[in-house]
Amino acid sequence: DIQMTQSPSSLSASVGDRVTITCRASQGISTYLNWYQQKPGKAPKALIYAASSLQSGVPSRFSGSGSGTDFTLSISSLQPEDFATYYCQQSYSLPQTFGQGTKLEIK
Amino acid sequence: QVQLQESGPGLVKPSETLSLTCSVSGGSVTKGTYFWSWIRQPPGKGLEWIGYIYYSGSTSYNPSLKSRVTISLDTSKNQISLKLNSVAAADTAVYYCAGGSGSVGDYKYWGQGSLVTVSS
């Protein structure tokens, strides 16, 4: 199985800050990397697919980059509704696997 | 817009079979390029992929669960089902139905989730 490791596991930031979350794959996955946002008690919401493509309806302050083994999710100017847990997911090979999550909290 | 809704028992006894159904609206489960997965999340933990079924009916399962899992389509009801045999407390989780289309393998559509507790 491909292991997905996110860093940091948790992050405190303020409204207006720029934040970056990293996801590393245990082997190369090209750009088969997707990002999700999950709020407490809710299902995950798709943000980014294929490493850098924004899902329709997702604000442009979200962006993704990377290929191979190293990927990043960036939020350019944090809004109150962005405080949540973020997960990366590889869809390069089966079984699909997710990172352990990064909890973004208000400072 | 495709919408998913899980349903099924919230409590299952150890060693019995967990059965969940995902009803799909706004799209056909057999529409070309669509795929449908079950993903679970134990309380306070991360996401685990259980398996998927393509619009064609072909399936793939997580090897860690493969011997106990069956995912199927009911085209007459536009539903996807999950059966997990011989459950134990470790199978307690919120079970999500999720779907996507295309070749990337991302999940654009999610149900609200169904909490299943395994307990006697």
Query: How wide is the angle at C-alpha B44 spanned by C-alphas B40 and B50, nearest 5°?
Result: 15
**Per-residue model confidence (pLDDT) at position B32:** 83
What does the pLDDT look like over A39-87, one tens digit per residue? 999 999 999 999 999 999 999 999 999 999 999 999 999 999 999 999 9
pLDDT band, very low/low/confident/very high, at B103 (cuts 50, 70, 90): confident
For A50, the closest chain B residue by CA position comes to: B104
Pairing mode, strands A97-98 and A4-7: unpaired
Mean pLDDT (whole number) for A11-39:
97
Residue carrying structure tokens 């919120």? B94
B chain contacts of residue A98, beta-carbon cutoff 8 Å? 46-49
**Per-residue model confidence (pLDDT) at position B31:** 85
Q: Under a CB-based contact definition with an 8 Å cutoff, are residues A33 and A88 in contact?
A: yes
Integer angstrom CA distances of residue A15 from A57, A83, B68:
21, 9, 46
**Per-residue model confidence (pLDDT) at position B33:** 84
Q: Which of B36, B48, B61 is nearest to B92 (CA)?
A: B48
Query: Which strands form A62-67's sheet, in the order they lie side by side?
Result: A4-7, A19-25, A70-75, A62-67
Q: Under a CB-based contact definition with an 8 Å cutoff, are residues B62 and B87 in contact?
A: no
Number of Cβ within 10 Å of residue A69's Cβ equals 15
Mean pLDDT of chain B: 95
- Indicate if the pLDDT at residue A8 is higher than 80: yes
Question: Across the strands, what pairs with B91?
Answer: none
Partner residue opposite B63 with nearest CB, options A32, A44, A95: A95
**Per-residue model confidence (pLDDT) at position B68:** 97
A chain contacts of residue B62, beta-carbon cutoff 8 Å? 95
Mean pLDDT (whole number) for B2-20:
97
Percent over 90 (pLDDT), chain A: 98
pLDDT band, very low/low/confident/very high, at A26 (cuts 50, 70, 90): very high
List of residues 6+ apart from A74 with CB closer than 8 A: A18, A19, A20, A21, A62, A63, A64, A65
Mean pLDDT (whole number) for B12-33:
94
The DSSP letter of residue B33 is T
- Indicate if the pLDDT at residue B19 is higher than 80: yes
Cβ pair A97:B108 closer than 8 A: no
**Per-residue model confidence (pLDDT) at position A76:** 95
Mean pLDDT (whole number) for A13-29:
97
**Per-residue model confidence (pLDDT) at position B104:** 83
Mean pLDDT of chain A: 97
3-state secondary structure chain A: CCCEEEECCEEEECCCCCEEEEEEECCCCCCCEEEEEECCCCCCEEEEECCCEECCCCCCCEEEEEECCEEEEEECCCCHHHCCEEEEEECCCCCCEECCCEEEEEC
**Per-residue model confidence (pLDDT) at position A67:** 98
Q: Under a CB-based contact definition with an 8 Å cutoff, are residues A93 and A33 in contact?
A: no
Q: Is A5 on the interface with B (CB under 8 A)?
A: no
- Indicate if the pLDDT at residue B102 is higher than 80: no
Mean pLDDT (whole number) for B86-108:
93
